[in-house]
Structure 1
């Protein structure tokens, strides 16, 4: 199948083409503003499906709305008609097409052009009135407020929250691409005369700003957003895509002494805390027990001996662990426990605990194994 994508270098186009190639669609005609206009004549002659994504939404002059959204659409449709090509045409319109403003008017005119073309030729029209889109490769101060907030907050730049109670309807780029692929496979989601992306999210502007600020703060408080919230999960992925290339990494606070080090990695209010423990050869750590707090130890390098004793028993239980064979050892409540480096190199252990450390209620009681 030969697929024509206009606006191929745009936010939606880049994401769509990347996934088309992932799915094995390699015969793709990519048309951009920089493309030779003569190519469009050949592409419209040979293509089997059209993704018409090209458009203008933030021009310097309002007249460019009609030129970029309506006139170019008309040119595309005339070329298809000229070649007798009845390929389905999918066009990205906007919910603004319902509004009486220059952008909305240009999108509405493009929609009507598509419907007329398809009525005259018998081709299939797939018109998507999209809400605010967000995701990787979007442009700040152009595509969406999400991109602007992510870009600025990641760089310690100010953001404007003019109306924190303003309600936004958002749609994630992966959900858009998934729907566009269904349309290619003749399974679009249709409502009345229009197609739609079935997955959208709503949030108020103030909450959006706070959520993205929280992503940045997670680097200092080692927190992780609630990934069970579908919108937060998608926003966090978008935020990470806006990190400056020299800021992918960040430091952790290492608690270092002559025994080795202990470093907290991740804290979550509902899923506990992850830390990395490094012990020098011959060093024993632990020798305490918990009422309710429970842990998991995973030695990833070196050789260790994890020892347990029920607090009212003399019997000692031992588990020998090594980075050569990864095994998780549960630390049950009511057992005093320790971990000893019995090797010649540093012992590196990933430790998970079911709750974040609370100095007011540590639930950690010293008792030698």
Structure 2
């Protein structure tokens, strides 16, 4: 499909055009800097239009009228002049419901598009977006999230005037998903929503972002797998300077080999790895409640088990090429011996973070 994207060089536009390319669509990118010939050709060929071009922080307030209403009027006029009734998706703003210069300009642009749909039989989807955040937003411009991420990623202070100030946020990937879902054009003209919308505060967002660099020191990651924290974490990482793409963790070494903790979680344990030279045995202890999963990455390992009351024994031999998990069992003392000729490397997950005051690790030979 040929998709005309106005404002394709902006924040949302760049994210959208990348996704459209991944899906195999042809992007007709256009902006206010392009001449009338380019605009005419793009509107003639468009099979769907995503109208993102606009103005939200002009030097002169009159820029709201020219950037939002004027560009929309130009788009509608060209569509009608070429007889193109392709569906139009419009990125408006929740400010369109407010009586301010910016809000009125977005509301007027909405009316132009809805009138166009009524006059031509085309379809128009209006998205009144709250604050959109994600990778490639310009910091120190109009996004608190972008500014916080950019500054915190560089160890700089952030300034907050009102911690409790409310924020309504949508993540750029969710905006792009909502647009892509309507590309076939089988939607009803009117207002459409992007979900989820995150209801939060300036202070909460700042605290979440501040926790990300701290996790490199504590090795304990926040819950970055779902929801707002996931989206903020991805956004924060996108602002890291290239020389901060890596960081070191402590290595604990002794004659048996190395032990390295990689990552800890707040409620699902921790990940680490260890090495052992040929003939070296590690472990020889049992746990009451703690459980572990071992994955041999390279080398050959012998796992020995003994039930501490009955004396029942069990053994397992695993090589790195097998992709086999070995679990420790509460009440069974266990050890791991390198029975190969080279270094043994084993990845380890424990279901709880090691607590020196309550280690739940009792020494006992297998």
TM-score range, shorter chain: over 0.9
Kept in 2, the 8 Å contact 1:182–1:188? The answer is: no
**Distance across 2 between alignment mates of 1:79 and 1:236:** 41
> Cα RMSD over matched residues?
1.7
Q: 2:233 aligns with which of 231, 236, 241?
A: 236
Ranges in structure 1 where 5+ consecutive residues have no aligned partner: none
Q: Which residue of 1 aligns with 2:3?
A: 3
1:286 aligns with 2:283: yes
Aligned residue in 2 for 1:131: 130
* TM-score (norm. length: structure 2): 0.95
Q: Report if the CA contact (8 A) 1:304-1:339 is conserved.
A: yes
Q: 2:172 corresponds to which residue?
A: 173
User: Where does 1:1-369 land on structure 2 (aligned, <5 Å)?
Assistant: 1-25=1-25, 27-188=26-187, 193-227=190-224, 229-369=226-366
C-alpha separation in 2, matches of 1:20 and 1:126 = 18
From the superposition, tell whether residues 188 and 172 of structure 1 become closer, same or farther in structure 2 (CA, over 3 Å): farther
SS of the equivalent of 2:220 reads: coil
Instruction: Kindly state the Cα deviation for residue 315 of structure 1 after the two structures are TM-superposed.
Output: 4.2
Distance 1:187 1:254, change over 3 A: farther
Q: Provide the aligned length of Structure 1 versus Structure 2.
A: 366
Q: TM-score, normalised by structure 1?
A: 0.94
Deviation of 1:86 after TM superposition, in Å, equals: 1.4
- In 2: Cα distance, 1:2 partner to 1:357 partner: 56
Tell me if structure 2 keeps the 8 A contact 1:138–1:147.
yes
Tell me whether 112-121 or 163-172 shows the greater mean CA deviation.
112-121
- Give the unaligned 5+ runs of structure 2: none
| Contact kept in structure 1, 2:123 and 2:187, CA below 8 Å | no
8 Å CA contact 1:8–1:32 kept in 2: the answer is yes
Q: Distance in 1 between matches of 2:169 and 2:188?
A: 17
CA contact (8 A) 1:4 1:47 kept: yes
Rate the CA distance shift 1:312–1:164 in 2: closer, same or farther, 3 A: same
- Contact kept? 2:285, 2:365, Cα under 8 Å: yes
